[in-house]
Amino acid sequence: MNSPNNKFSERQLFYCTSVPGETSWAKQGYRQQNRNQSKSETDIEDIVRSTANINLDDEKVSNDLKKVASKYPFPKENHIAAIVKIYEKDDSLKVTDVVEFIGVLNHPRKAASNTNESQYEEFNASCENVASYYIPSVHVIFYRKLHPTGTPLISTNTTNLLVSPTDAMQIRNALIHYIASAFGGDDLVAEFVLLQLLSRIHLRQNGLTLGKLALNISNLPNNIITNENAQNNVLSLVHNNLFAKRVATILASLLPKYHDLPLTLSTLNEIFYFPHSNNELDSGVFQVSQGTWFLVDETVLKEGKLCDIGVRNLKALNDIIDHQKLNYTFPFNNYEFNTDIGIIILSNAKTFLNYDCNIPLIQKSESTTISNVSEDTLNQFRNYISILRCTDFNIPENISDYIQTDYVTQRQNASRNGTPLLTQQDLMLLLNLSRFVGLSFGSLELTKELWDYTKKLDEARRHRIYQKT
């Protein structure tokens, strides 16, 4: 111990899981990418999956292991977990970060195969001890943070991270048509959904969170629930409304990270939306990485009583919508963490939740068929969304002056005509929308033409709202 050759360093332990909400096409893309990079006949990921997969359908899995599984946001979903050991101090790693680890895999069950299993029963049934027996560990050699909004398509093709205006226009039109197929051919709703998919937090300043766009799509039809019994399944976070299922199919085909969130009384009262702790931290539905989307289906909510958890869950949802912040609750303290989560709300009437933008649905057809597009076209859509979300956008000073003058003029005209005045909140929404409109056309800065287009788009939305009132 006293030898000058001995060197000591600090070891940090992290409980890590597979990325919550990762969609099937994104998983397949990363899997293929790993196979292309590795010349080994054995797929390393298969080894990890065979040792680290927590299968909650396995009746042999103990209740203690289910406590470990509660550290994953979505109840009853199979996932990969590991205890990651880093042999240096690094304060930059935070909860919900997406990190790639390379290291030596150690599986406790294999190491303990020749050991009398009864000795493990003597352990205190704490999560740490259970995890040490069931969960593999990784002794890290190298690691790096990954961009939370990245996709396997971008990471394998970094030569062109800009979308030209010509390409953007073509992809934009095709993508709006594809999204509209889930909304009965409503192109206006589809365009607002596209703008919402391009949204991300770009600035937090003086209590303002700029770049968020919680979208409420109202006036939905009363569609049949495919499985009434599913509403009574407390641990079900899967849409059963036929309309919501169509929208979910579209979103999951476009986004690398997405999850259903049917707003039933059972999910509100029985599932924690926020991380919470008595002795150990258990995950909540919203403990996900940046760039994860939720489709909130309010149409399945029936009359009933909300318990304390339900009230706190709604508060957590509204906090994300309003401020993009999530509280981690402990017995004596709460800790607030920033989020960047996409929220789309489906409702029959205007939602009772908070929102940034509401648009009523007007279906052009009763068709329930989603447009059939090729995998190559879907990859174009995915690249388009992912690249433009990461693209910086500028509002030149002369355009800023033009917007201020235009805002004053609109208020004066509204005052003379006896129509509702544009508020400061309306202006903030227009500025937000104009940023996403510009990006959707492949532009890197706002122009007068793009501003005027945004105003016309928002006027069409407002006209629908006035028609419904």
Q: pLDDT, tens digit, for every residue of 87-99?
A: 888 888 999 999 9
Domain ranges of the chain: 12-146, 158-372, 397-468
3-state DSSP of 80-125? EEEEEEECCCCCCCCCCCCEEEEEEEECHHHHCCCCCCHHHHCCCC
What pLDDT does 309 receive?
Answer: 95
Higher pLDDT, 7 or 39: 7
pLDDT average, residue stretch 184-203: 97
What pLDDT does 366 receive?
Answer: 82
Average pLDDT, the chain: 85
**pLDDT tier for residue 222 given thresholds of 50, 70 and 90:** confident
What pLDDT does 31 receive?
Answer: 72
Which helix (H) or strand (E) element contains residue 252? helix 242-254
Q: Is the pLDDT reported for residue 330 higher than 60?
A: yes
What pLDDT does 63 receive?
Answer: 60
What pLDDT does 233 receive?
Answer: 53
Burial of 262 from C-beta contacts in 10 A (0-12 / 13-18 / 19+) = buried
Q: For the chain, what percent of residues have pLDDT higher than 90? A: 60
pTM comes to: 0.88
Higher pLDDT, 173 or 112: 173
pLDDT average, residue stretch 343-370: 93
Task: Look at domain 158-372 and name its CATH class.
Answer: alpha beta
pLDDT average, residue stretch 106-124: 50
What pLDDT does 58 receive?
Answer: 55
CA 150 – CA 386 distance, rounded (Å) = 7
